Structure 1
């Protein structure tokens, strides 16, 4: 992008986005949330009205703190099991996470 646009132009676009709202997918999320709230409120009886925030997706709800490598390895193994994959590490799913990480490190030196 920097090949075709100067830093000054990118800064101007960033300022414009702050004034006019987001471009692309984020803007579409907001527009569809407004539409969903409108449709929901037309079909709803008396009581609490829906707001666009009720329909706005919350992306990236991952862990707030950084995971250590043992937790990452455990998460990957759990996803692998759920997807029906095979654990090809030495000892299968029973292997010590430290040993597996050490073997990986030694193989990729």
Structure 2
């Protein structure tokens, strides 16, 4: 369906409301690529974890759509925590 056809069926306001809803709840419709990718990611993570490592679940890899944006400092701190949890070291 084209945008013109869509706007012929619903108002711009309703379309905006659906866009806002999807931004909070995640993708609409049967295609849940995020879930499929999360299943694959958890499988790969579990195949590569150490014997004492916590088993990953698909939910660990699904984005939360209602989160606020993080600052670069918060993103860096998250990456450093993940790096340390995976046995990495910090250089530089």
TM-score of the superposition, structure 2-length normalised?
Answer: 0.42
TM-score of the superposition, structure 1-length normalised?
Answer: 0.36
- Greater RCO structure (CA 8 Å; 6+ sep): 2
